[in-house]
C-alpha cells in the first residue's frame, strides 16, 4: 500500500472511530513499513518527494491525534482533551489545504467538525464559559475558508466538505444564541448551491442542514422557506430518531400555523408538545381570549425555544379566522359588512373591548397585507369585501406577494393611507 492510500485510509478510519484498525495502521514499531508509509502519507497526498519538509506537518498531526486518543481513553479533563484535539484540528486543516482536488477526506472532515463541537461543549461545563466554544468557532471557520478556496464542483472537490463545516457552525451559533452569525455561511452556501449539490450528501447531513436553514428562515419570518426546509428535515429524519423528529417538528408547527395548516391533536400528543395544543385550537377557531391565555401560559417555554415572536404573530391569523367566521355567520348578501357588527362580537371576546378606531385599524392592517381582499369606508364604517375569494389562502399570500405578516397591534398615530382606509 502506498503512502497516499494509507494516509486517506487513516483519516477515514479516524472518522469511523475504528480503534483496532487505527492501531494496526499506526504500528508502534518505527521500523515497520506501515508506519513509514504513514509518516510520508502527506507527501503522497501532495504528490511531492517523500523527503519534503511537509512530512513534518503530517507527523505533528499524527502525534497530536494519537495523544488525544490516549487522553480520551484515560478519562482526562475535558479541557485538556479539547485543547489537544483542537490542535489536531488545526493540523488537519493545514493538511486539508495542502491536499489537491480529488484527494479530499470527506468522512474525516465531517467527523472532525462534529467531534470538535462535542468536546467544546464538554469543556464548557467545567472551564471558563465561552473560551472553548469560541476556539471551536475559529478552528471551524479556518477549515470552512479552506473549503471555499476550491473552484470545482462537488463531489470530488473541497467544496464538498463545506456543508460539514456549515452544519458545525450552525450548531455552535445556535447554542450561543448568535443566530445572525449563521447568515454568513448560509449565504455562501446558497450562492454556491449549483456547485455544492446538497443532494449528493448523506441524508443525515442534508437533514441537519435543512433543519438549521429552516430555523434560520423562521427567525427571519421567511415562512414558506422555513416550512419547506423543516418539512424536508422531518420527512427524511430517521423514523427511530424520535428526539430529533420532536426537535424538528417543534419549529415546523409555527410555520405550518402561519400558513393556515393546523396539526392534528394526536400528532401533538405523540410528540408531547402540549404547549401547541390549546394555541392551535385558538388560532383555528379565532378564539382571541383563549389565544392570549395560552400565549401567557407557555410564554416562558416559547421564549426558551426561540419561537415566541412567531407565536405572537399568530394573533393576526386568529383575528382573520374570527372575521371569516363572522362573515359566514352573518351571511352578507352584498359583501358589505358593518364594522359595528364586528365591534359587538369583539366586545364579548376581548376584555377590555376595543374602541371603534382600533377595530378599523386591525381590519385595515389586514387589508394592507392582503389577508382580506376588501376596502373600508371610514365615513360609513363599512368594509366592502371582494366578491371573489375575499379570504385568500395564507400560503398564496406569502408566495405571490412575499408578505411577512405583522401582528395587528393596538393603534398608534398612523396615517389612514397606510391602513388603506378609503373614504366614501
Q: Is the pLDDT of residue 10 over 60?
A: no
Distance CA 69, CA 360 (A): 68
**Mean of per-residue pLDDT scores for the chain:** 80
Distance CA 265, CA 281 (A): 9
Neighbour-count burial of 290, counting CB atoms closer than 10 A to its CB (0-12 exposed, 13-18 middle, 19+ buried):
middle
Of the spans 28-32, 66-70, 280-284, 413-417, which averages the highest pLDDT? Answer: 280-284
Distance CA 117, CA 95 (A): 20
Strands 382-385 and 336-338: antiparallel
H-only helix segments in 149-222? 162-175, 183-191, 193-196, 203-219
**Model pLDDT, residue 53:** 52
**Model pLDDT, residue 232:** 96
Least confident stretch, 13-27, 257-271, 337-351:
13-27
Mean of pLDDT values over 187-210 = 89
pTM of the model: 0.78
Q: Is the pLDDT of residue 30 over 60?
A: no
Distance CA 256, CA 228 (A): 10
Q: Is the pLDDT of residue 423 over 70?
A: no
Q: Is the pLDDT of residue 299 over 80?
A: yes
Q: Which residue has the higher pLDDT, 35 or 163?
A: 163
**Model pLDDT, residue 355:** 80
Mean of pLDDT values over 107-114 = 86
Structural contact between residues 371 and 200, judged by C-beta atoms closer than 8 angstroms? no
Neighbour-count burial of 103, counting CB atoms closer than 10 A to its CB (0-12 exposed, 13-18 middle, 19+ buried):
middle
In 333-412, at which residue ranges do the beta strands (DSSP E only) sit? 336-338, 374-377, 382-385
Q: Which residue has the higher pLDDT, 333 or 229?
A: 229
Structural contact between residues 25 and 10, judged by C-beta atoms closer than 8 angstroms? yes
Question: Is the alpha carbon torsion for 275, 280, 283, 285 positive or negative?
Answer: negative
Q: Is the pLDDT of residue 36 over 60?
A: no
**Model pLDDT, residue 282:** 95
**Which phi and psi (to 5°) does residue 105 adopt?**
-115, 80
Q: Is the pLDDT of residue 401 over 80?
A: no
**Model pLDDT, residue 420:** 39
**Model pLDDT, residue 345:** 80
**Model pLDDT, residue 208:** 95
Mean of pLDDT values over 385-390 = 88
Taking only the tens place, the pLDDT of each residue in 119-154 is: 999 999 887 777 899 999 999 999 999 888 877 766
Question: Is the alpha carbon torsion for 27, 29, 33, 38 positive or negative?
Answer: positive
Q: Is the pLDDT of residue 246 over 70?
A: yes
**Model pLDDT, residue 6:** 46
DSSP state of 371: S
Could you tell me which residues come within 8 angstroms of residue 76 by beta carbon, excluding any fewer than 6 positions away?
none
Which strands, in side-by-side order, build the sheet including 382-385? 336-338, 382-385, 374-377, 421-422
Q: Is the pLDDT of residue 189 over 60?
A: yes
Mean of pLDDT values over 335-356 = 80
Grid coordinates in use for 66?
A: 494519537
H-only helix segments in 17-77? 19-25, 33-39, 41-46, 55-73
SS3 for 375? strand
Q: Is the pLDDT of residue 59 over 70?
A: yes
Least confident stretch, 42-51, 264-273, 276-285, 317-326:
42-51
Taking only the tens place, the pLDDT of each residue in 356-386 is: 788 888 888 889 888 899 999 888 889 999 9
Least confident stretch, 50-64, 192-206, 292-306:
50-64
Local confidence band at 19 (pLDDT 50, 70, 90 cut-offs): very low
Amino acid at each position: 500500500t502506498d503512502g497516499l492510500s494509507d494516509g486517506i485510509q487513516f483519516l477515514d478510519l479516524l472518522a469511523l472511530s475504528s480503534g483496532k484498525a487505527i492501531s494496526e495502521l499506526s504500528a508502534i514499531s518505527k521500523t515497520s513499513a506501515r508506519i513509514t508509509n504513514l509518516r510520508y502519507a502527506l507527501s503522497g497526498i501532495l504528490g511531492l518527494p517523500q523527503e519534503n519538509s511537509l512530512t513534518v506537518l503530517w507527523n505533528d498531526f499524527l502525534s497530536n491525534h494519537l495523544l488525544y486518543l490516549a487522553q480520551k481513553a484515560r478519562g482526562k479533563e475535558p479541557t485538556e482533551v479539547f485543547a489537544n484535539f483542537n490542535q489536531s484540528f488545526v493540523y488537519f486543516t493545514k493538511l486539508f489545504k495542502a491536499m489537491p482536488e480529488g484527494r479530499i477526506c470527506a468522512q474525516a472532515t465531517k467527523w472532525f467538525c462534529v467531534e470538535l463541537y462535542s468536546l467544546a461543549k464538554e469543556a464548557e461545563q467545567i472551564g471558563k464559559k465561552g473560551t472553548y466554544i469560541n476556539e471551536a468557532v475559529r478552528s471551524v471557520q479556518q477549515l470552512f475558508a479552506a473549503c471555499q478556496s476550491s473552484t470545482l464542483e462537488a463531489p470530488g472537490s473541497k467544496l464538498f466538505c463545506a456543508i460539514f463545516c456549515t452544519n458545525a457552525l450552525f450548531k455552535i451559533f445556535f447554542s450561543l444564541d448568535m443566530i445572525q452569525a449563521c447568515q454568513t455561511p448560509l449565504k455562501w452556501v446558497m450562492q454556491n448551491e449549483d456547485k455544492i449539490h446538497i443532494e449528493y450528501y448523506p441524508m443525515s447531513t442534508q437533514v441537519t442542514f435543512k433543519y438549521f436553514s429552516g430555523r434560520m428562515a423562521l427567525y427571519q419570518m421567511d415562512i414558506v422557506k422555513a416550512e419547506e426546509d423543516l418539512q424536508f428535515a422531518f420527512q427524511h429524519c430517521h423514523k427511530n430518531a424520535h428526539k430529533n423528529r420532536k426537535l424538528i417538528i417543534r419549529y415546523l408547527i409555527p410555520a405550518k400555523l402561519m400558513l393556515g395548516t393546523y396539526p392534528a391533536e394526536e400528532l401533538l400528543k405523540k410528540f408531547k408538545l402540549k404547549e401547541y395544543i390549546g394555541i392551535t385550537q385558538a388560532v383555528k377557531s379565532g378564539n382571541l381570549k383563549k389565544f392570549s391565555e395560552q400565549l401567557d401560559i407557555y410564554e416562558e417555554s416559547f421564549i426558551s425555544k426561540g419561537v415566541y415572536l412567531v407565536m405572537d404573530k399568530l394573533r393576526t391569523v386568529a383575528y382573520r379566522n374570527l372575521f371569516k367566521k363572522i362573515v359566514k355567520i352573518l351571511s352578507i348578501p352584498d359583501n358589505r359588512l358593518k364594522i359595528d357588527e364586528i365591534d359587538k362580537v369583539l366586545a364579548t371576546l376581548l376584555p377590555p373591548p376595543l374602541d371603534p378606531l382600533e377595530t378599523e385599524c386591525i381590519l385595515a392592517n389586514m387589508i394592507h397585507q392582503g389577508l382580506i381582499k376588501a376596502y373600508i369606508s371610514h365615513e360609513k364604517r363599512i368594509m366592502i369585501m371582494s366578491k371573489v375569494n375575499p379570504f385568500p389562502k395564507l400560503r398564496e399570500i406569502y408566495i405571490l406577494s412575499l408578505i411577512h405578516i405583522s401582528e395587528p397591534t393596538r393603534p398608534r398615530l398612523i396615517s389612514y393611507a397606510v391602513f388603506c382606509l378609503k373614504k366614501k
